[in-house]
Amino acid sequence: MIDKRVTSCAAAVADIKDGDTVMIGGFGEAGSPIELIHALIDHGAKNLTVVNNNTGSGRIGLAALIENGQVAKMICSYPRTANSMVFPELYRSGKIELELVPQGTLAERIRAGGAGVPAFYTPTSVGTPLAEGKESRTFDGEEYVMELAIKADFALIKAKQADRYGNLTFNKTARNFAPIMAMAATNTLVQANEMVELGDIDPENVVTPGIFVNQIIEVANPQQESKLVKEGVVYP
Amino acid sequence: MIDKRVTSCAAAVADIKDGDTVMIGGFGEAGSPIELIHALIDHGAKNLTVVNNNTGSGRIGLAALIENGQVAKMICSYPRTANSMVFPELYRSGKIELELVPQGTLAERIRAGGAGVPAFYTPTSVGTPLAEGKESRTFDGEEYVMELAIKADFALIKAKQADRYGNLTFNKTARNFAPIMAMAATNTLVQANEMVELGDIDPENVVTPGIFVNQIIEVANPQQESKLVKEGVVYP
Amino acid sequence: MSNTSPESKTQESKPQAIGWSREQMAQRCAQDIEDGSYVNLGIGIPEKVAQYVPAGREVIYHTENGLLGMGTEPSAEELDPDLINAGKKPVTAIPGAAYFHHGDSFSMIRGKHIDVCVLGAMQVSEKGDLANWSTGAPDAIPAVGGAMDLVAGVKTIYIITQHTTKTGAAKILPQCSFPLTGKGVVNRIYSDLCVIDVTDDGLLLTELAPEVSFDYVQARTDVTLINAVK
Amino acid sequence: MSNTSPESKTQESKPQAIGWSREQMAQRCAQDIEDGSYVNLGIGIPEKVAQYVPAGREVIYHTENGLLGMGTEPSAEELDPDLINAGKKPVTAIPGAAYFHHGDSFSMIRGKHIDVCVLGAMQVSEKGDLANWSTGAPDAIPAVGGAMDLVAGVKTIYIITQHTTKTGAAKILPQCSFPLTGKGVVNRIYSDLCVIDVTDDGLLLTELAPEVSFDYVQARTDVTLINAVK
């Protein structure tokens, strides 16, 4: 029997090890799996490489994971947002490494990681500092840079609905990086707002098929990042 | 105002020129846009390069397009099926060219064409005759071959529902190549079983967003390939 | 499911006097499909594996034309020409199924997300090379389908095949003479005579069909086998 | 929408004595957005373009975090923290919208499916090079967002920018001194003083804001402009 449900966020993140690469879904607060991130803080794995578009807000969620000293390196496109102060401080003091990747290249590298494509060529960043040190090549008279796939040991994502096979739907723009991260990680951990029965999600409307999902925890009323930031909440 | 509906299949295919590359959706009969293909036969454009997983059945649809002498070259993975005789005959007599591509590589090359990726690496076909003459390269100790994107002047696909923006849904496994072909063609022509109002397709369930679609013709009761083949129908 | 050629089917159609029948080969293979696996079954005998997976195991079938959660054959009322498998036969979808496009479907394959693929074979080499798409005959219409993607991407490749061709020639060889589908890709062979594991040390014969001896198999195999029958 | 840096916003916040206001620049640019276009608008002044597109034109807005068919700001009841734009501001979705993941969203961008992108700028060169993501200052936190993908992939790139920095330094230069976002990517510049087309022959000044003379613009531009005002 296939039943990917687990009973707690703590159980879901239990196997994350020091030094692992962890993809975390979300674009800003939309799709950020706060409960799973907080479980990872409680769990304490260190020296992580984290892949996320941003670096979190305030002192909760991803920002708190960074502040807690668990992240050795960030791979992201935009590590600077209105309420982010944790990452900039650590970065300036040389305590965290940054691999800056254009957002579309980040998405395509993750997708490639999940699709069994080790490398591909893209026009993005040609002629800019972010192409320095990368192989370039001309196809049909246009210049492209070669980019490598990114894979992860774990992905932490947030879904709207999930069934026990791991089929997922998402809510609006909270979808963002989650489907491709689910493909690129060896272990995909999902917090879903709602568990549904097999067949409740029309097979035509499944966004992430269960084959890309390993463990699911129902978090019926997830916390809202912007609300926590506004209230000045600090985790843990 | 955006209204991609046209009034006939003939109007949809009118701009296809001799020598064009035309992607045609479908895996066997599932998703085969027979009415658009027949309009292309009536239209008469010649010397086409056609991209499809197969080469059609019987003497209707894609097989009839080939039999009519309009196809100079097929790019496909499996040009031989139970009821295909048109292609084998022309191929043996040297009257049609064949580029044989593994099915997944075909899909990924089309997807790359639509995604602005000119080339990528894949493990598929390494060590086989289909990798001969292709660049190979090692990543992390594994060998891969480089494959180039495929783009097309036109794509002919079949959808279940369409709205005037060109948002599409598909029916079951008739989806197959259609969404990636819609991305890879400069002009995507769609025959849809049903036209619906804007908003009737939930934004969460749109499979092909309208940005990839150029013209839509409603074909409420499309013909069924296997039925035509069984009845021995010949087009035109 | 992968498109294997009609040639290979013809070769496999005549059962030998002793050893497992086609059904029994499928049945034997099915014992090794684990609970919770994602499985892709090739056309022909491999398709039959699904019906023999032991009760109590939940297995999800992938068909590369865009469906995860393929069910059994449809009834007349269920039949929909838009719902077919990679062999282009009508199928059904189970509750909990998902449809997706070809790009995503082969991402599942190439990205090593599928656990097991069961395929037919024309030839298998000592090193696990597989030839199952072309005899290389100059007048043949070459057709590969998804076979090369499956062997390159799926984690475990099982082969179900008659041990020899219908003319009695060995199909398990030091080197394949037919064009390859993939190099070093086969993990295990279920023939009508035995079960063979492809290992770094060579071909390990782990199990014999009833009334079949090691010597009987060895005489029909062009590679020296290691006898590992307990 | 692309993440342009806070620095650039500060530089652009003080309007000049003569010429177009921020609203007027957006309004002028909006005249060039054609009926039926797919458009991506950067953060800041570019965002304002949407509200000035002439009546009767139907334009579909793309936001790279996964929405085609972005609508106006939500009412308090409509507000959903899961429905935001690339600037992370709450938005709505129009009837006929579609959601998709980041891989698909940037396929639209990189695959040249989007017609127009309107962005801010720190510097633009004579050849259409754009710098709008970093001043290259050693203590700055580098952040690029989707800007490099947009300029590499979108068919037409419009820039809306103050003609000079707030200290009066030229932003239109023979060469950008800041790190590039893309090389030879800009098609047209809408500044507070004029409209400039980037052409193979050089920078073509096609239109002047009221009360602004060609010489006034030329004095604030480090590249020799071609006067093409009718």
- What region, left, alpha or beta, does residue A174 occupy, with left being phi > 0 and alpha being psi -120 to 50 degrees? alpha
A chain contacts of residue D65, beta-carbon cutoff 8 Å? 27, 30, 173, 176
Kindly identify which residue of chain A lies nearest to residue B170, measuring between CA atoms: A204
Give a yes or no: residue C9 inside a domain. no
Q: Which of residues 167-206 of A touch B (CB under 8 A)?
A: 169-170, 172, 202-205
How many Å separate Cα A13 from the centre of its chain? 14
Report, as residue numbers or ranges, the catalytic residues of C.
64
Residue type, A130: L
Give a yes or no: residue C3 inside a domain. no
C chain contacts of residue B170, beta-carbon cutoff 8 Å? 99
Interface with A, mutate which of D141, D180, D181, D186 (most A CBs under 10 A): D141
A chain contacts of residue B120, beta-carbon cutoff 8 Å? 112, 117, 119-121
Strands in C123-125's sheet, in edge-to-edge order, are C130-131, C123-125, C172-173
C-alpha distance from A1 to closest chain D C-alpha (Å): 30
Burial zone of A236 (CB within 10 Å; 0-12 exposed, 13-18 middle, 19+ buried)? exposed
Is the per-residue pLDDT at C176 higher than 90? yes
Q: What is the mean pLDDT of chain B?
A: 97
> CA C62, CA C114: separation in Å to the nearest integer?
8
What confidence tier does A83 reach under pLDDT thresholds 50, 70, 90? Answer: confident
A chain contacts of residue B119, beta-carbon cutoff 8 Å? 120-121, 137, 139, 144
> CA A27, CA B90: separation in Å to the nearest integer?
53
Asked if the C-beta of C127 comes within 8 angstroms of chain A's C-beta atoms, the answer is no
C-alpha distance from B155 to closest chain D C-alpha (Å): 15
Kindly identify which residue of chain A lies nearest to residue C35, measuring between CA atoms: A1
The residue segments making up the domain with residue B53 are 9-119+149-223
pLDDT (mean) for B97-117: 98
Contact state of D142 with A180 under an 8 Å Cβ cutoff: no
Contact state of A199 with C95 under an 8 Å Cβ cutoff: yes
B chain contacts of residue C139, beta-carbon cutoff 8 Å? 92
Tens of pLDDT, residues A207-220: 999 999 999 999 99
C-alpha distance from A218 to closest chain B C-alpha (Å): 21
Cα angle D102, B154, B209; round to 5: 30
Which pLDDT score, from 0 to 100, does residue A124 have? 98
Residue contacts between A and C (CB atoms, under 8 Å): 68
Q: What is the mean pLDDT of chain A?
A: 97
Give a yes or no: residue A94 inside a domain. yes
Asked if the C-beta of D109 comes within 8 angstroms of chain B's C-beta atoms, the answer is yes
Out of B119, B140, B203, closest to residue A121 by CB? B119
Give a yes or no: residue C161 inside a domain. yes
Is the per-residue pLDDT at A202 higher than 50? yes
Out of A118, A122, A139, closest to residue B144 by CB? A118
For residue D180, CA distances in Å to A17, A78, A101, A134, D177 come to: 39, 16, 14, 16, 8
CATH code, A28: 3.40.1080.10
Tens of pLDDT, residues C12-58: 444 447 999 999 999 999 999 999 999 999 999 999 999 999 999 99
Interface with C, mutate which of B83, B97, B103, B139 (most C CBs under 10 A): B103
Is the per-residue pLDDT at C2 higher than 70? no
C-alpha distance from A21 to closest chain D C-alpha (Å): 20
> CA A37, CA A62: separation in Å to the nearest integer?
7
* Percentage of chain A modeled with pLDDT above 70: 100
Give a yes or no: residue A115 inside a domain. yes
Interface with B, mutate which of C7, C113, C141 (most B CBs under 10 A): C141
Give a yes or no: residue C4 inside a domain. no
Tens of pLDDT, residues A110-144: 999 999 999 999 999 999 999 999 999 999 999 99
Q: Where are the beta strands (DSSP E) in B56-184?
A: 71-76, 97-100, 119-122, 136-139, 142-148, 152-162, 168-169
Give a yes or no: residue B1 inside a domain. no
B chain contacts of residue C148, beta-carbon cutoff 8 Å? 102, 104-105, 124-125, 128, 130
Kindly identify which residue of chain B lies nearest to residue A170, measuring between CA atoms: B204
Kindly identify which residue of chain A lies nearest to residue C113, measuring between CA atoms: A211
B chain contacts of residue D60, beta-carbon cutoff 8 Å? 2, 165, 210-211
Residues of chain D with pLDDT under 50: 1-16
Is the per-residue pLDDT at B187 higher than 60? yes
Kindly identify which residue of chain B lies nearest to residue C109, measuring between CA atoms: B104
Tens of pLDDT, residues C54-96: 999 999 999 999 999 999 999 999 999 999 999 999 999 999 9
Contact state of D99 with A175 under an 8 Å Cβ cutoff: yes
The residue segments making up the domain with residue D35 are 18-227
Give a yes or no: residue B20 inside a domain. yes
Q: Are C35 and C56 in contact (CB under 8 A)?
A: yes
Q: What is the mean pLDDT of chain C?
A: 93
Burial zone of A223 (CB within 10 Å; 0-12 exposed, 13-18 middle, 19+ buried)? middle
Contact state of A1 with C58 under an 8 Å Cβ cutoff: yes
Q: Name all chains with 3 or more CB-CB pairs below 8 Å to chain D.
A: A, B
Asked if the C-beta of B110 comes within 8 angstroms of chain A's C-beta atoms, the answer is no
Give a yes or no: residue B3 inside a domain. no
Q: Are D1 and D87 in contact (CB under 8 A)?
A: yes
Which pLDDT score, from 0 to 100, does residue D230 have? 80
Kindly identify which residue of chain B lies nearest to residue A116, measuring between CA atoms: B122
pTM of the model: 0.96
pLDDT (mean) for B42-67: 97
Give a yes or no: residue B143 inside a domain. no
Closest by Cα among D103, A202, D42 to B172: A202
Two tokens, residue C118 = 């069961």
Helices A103-115 + C102-110 axis angle, to 10: 60
Which pLDDT score, from 0 to 100, does residue C3 have? 44
Give a yes or no: residue B76 inside a domain. yes
Q: Are B162 and B195 in contact (CB under 8 A)?
A: yes
C-alpha distance from C16 to closest chain B C-alpha (Å): 27
Two tokens, residue A198 = 């097999």
Is the per-residue pLDDT at C140 higher than 90? no
Q: Are D14 and D131 in contact (CB under 8 A)?
A: no
C-alpha distance from B181 to closest chain C C-alpha (Å): 10
Q: Which of residues 167-196 of C touch B (CB under 8 A)?
A: 179-184
> CA C136, CA C42: separation in Å to the nearest integer?
21
Give a yes or no: residue B39 inside a domain. yes
Which has the higher per-residue pLDDT, D10 or B122? Answer: B122
CATH code, D205: 3.40.1080.10
Which pLDDT score, from 0 to 100, does residue A224 have? 95
Residue contacts between A and D (CB atoms, under 8 Å): 152
For residue B24, CA distances in Å to A152, B37, C142, C143 come to: 36, 8, 20, 18
C-alpha distance from A116 to closest chain D C-alpha (Å): 15
Kindly identify which residue of chain A lies nearest to residue B174, measuring between CA atoms: A204
* B interface with D, Cβ–Cβ below 8 Å: 1-2, 111, 113-117, 163-165, 167, 183, 197-199, 203-204, 206, 209-212
Q: Is D64 a catalytic residue?
A: yes
The number of folded domains in chain A is: 1
Residue contacts between A and B (CB atoms, under 8 Å): 56
- Catalytic position from the list D34, D64, D77, D207: D64
Which pLDDT score, from 0 to 100, does residue B14 have? 97
Q: What are phi and psi of B205, to 5 degrees?
A: -110, 5
Contact state of B209 with D100 under an 8 Å Cβ cutoff: yes
The number of folded domains in chain C is: 1
Contact state of D68 with B210 under an 8 Å Cβ cutoff: yes
pLDDT (mean) for B19-23: 98
Q: How many CA atoms lie within 13 A of A112 on its CB side?
A: 27
